[in-house]
Amino acid sequence: MLSETVWNSNLKELKIDYLYHLGLDNTEDLKGTFKDTRFVCMFGSALRAEMFAKKAGKQLGFTVEGPIGKTERFSLYKIGPVISVSHGMGMPSLLILLHEITKLLQYAEAIDVAYIRIGTCGGVGIEPGTVVITTEAVNEKLEAVFEHMELGKVRRYITKLDNKLAESILKSAGDIKAVLGKTMGTDDFYEGQGRLDGALQPRYKAEEKMEYLKKAAEIGVLNIEMEATAFATFCSRADITGAIVDAALLDRLKVDQIYVGKEELAGFSEKAQQVVLNYIKSKING
């Protein structure tokens, strides 16, 4: 998985490495269960991780193992060479999952694993239901940078993603409407994304919100969610091939509230999942 230059040398000091939030540790037979992993598909919600696991099992013809480990924080399933796992909402939760799943795969001696986050987002100037495959992750300042607080100091990391993988996934979309574009990752759903419908009176006006969203659109941002920059930075630092595939639930140039029905919402999310499943099928069968 990881080269010696990025694998954390401090871990050598540990007798047992407890992957606390997954409820697993490196004394278990991780190699037996996970060595053949080639794709890790990640979802915000545990329910989506479970549904995807079942769908992948049916479409790829593998049995679904899991949930493996504990389920208080994350839910993890194994379907042949695919892991389906939830990461919770936002970058802090996602980063915990990324560290632990990567350690798990390193202990399992898995090789050439691609990480794919499959989620939902707010579109910027695109129709609800459109699937956006990220070319570049930008922060709230519209920079291709992830700012992380470490030892009380802000560190800035680049947010490079593998565009070859993004293009291959796009080719697997078939008749599902999918596009390539930049994704903004934010630390909040409401004021962090310039919404006017949070609980508190925002300190900005409707015109300022529109000006901000239009500026984002001008530099090529097609969607906004809450994980992109941390995901891209982690993959880039670890030298893991990564992609983000999100279904837009609304057009933020038109509305703030998500009012699509439960079924339509599930349908949007399924489109993003199906695009990725088509891609995985083509890699497994090809």
Instruction: Specify whether the CB–CB gap between 145 and 284 falls below 8 A.
Output: no
Rounded to the nearest whole angstrom, what is the least distance from the CB of residue 9 to ligand URA in the complex? Answer: 36
Q: Is 122 in the site for ligand URA (CB under 6 A)?
A: yes
Considering the rule CB under 6 A, would residue 226 count as an interface residue with ligand URA? Answer: yes
Binding flag, residue 189, ligand URA (CB under 6 A): yes
Scanning 25-33, 80-88, 150-158, 219-227 for contacts with ligand URA by CB under 6 A, the matching segment is 219-227
Sign of CA dihedral 249, 114, 277, 92: negative
CA 75 to chain centre: 15
Task: Name the residue nearer to ligand URA (CB basis): 110 or 272.
Answer: 272
Judged by CB under 6 A, the residue of 40, 161, 225, 280 near ligand URA is 225
Q: Does 121 bind ligand URA (CB under 6 A)?
A: yes
Find the helix packing angle between 262-285 and 46-60, rounded to 10°.
40
Residue 120 interacting with ligand URA (CB under 6 A): yes
Candidates 249, 275, 276, 277; binder of ligand URA (CB under 6 A) is 249
Which one of 124, 224, 230, 276 is in contact with ligand URA (CB under 6 A)? 224
Q: What's the CA gap between 168 and 165, in Å, rounded?
A: 5
CB-CB neighbours of 171 under 10 Å:
12
Q: Min. distance of Cβ 253 from ligand URA in angstroms?
A: 12
The site that binds ligand URA (CB under 6 A) totals a number of residues, namely: 9
* Residue recorded with tokens 């097609």: 222
How far is it, in rounded angstroms, from Cα 152 to Cα 168?
A: 40
Name the residue nearer to ligand URA (CB basis): 58 or 215.
215
Other beta carbons within 10 angstroms of residue 142's beta carbon come to 16
Closest Cα to residue 228, out of 98, 136, 132? 136
**Residue numbers of the site for ligand URA (CB under 6 A)?**
120-122, 189, 193, 224-226, 249
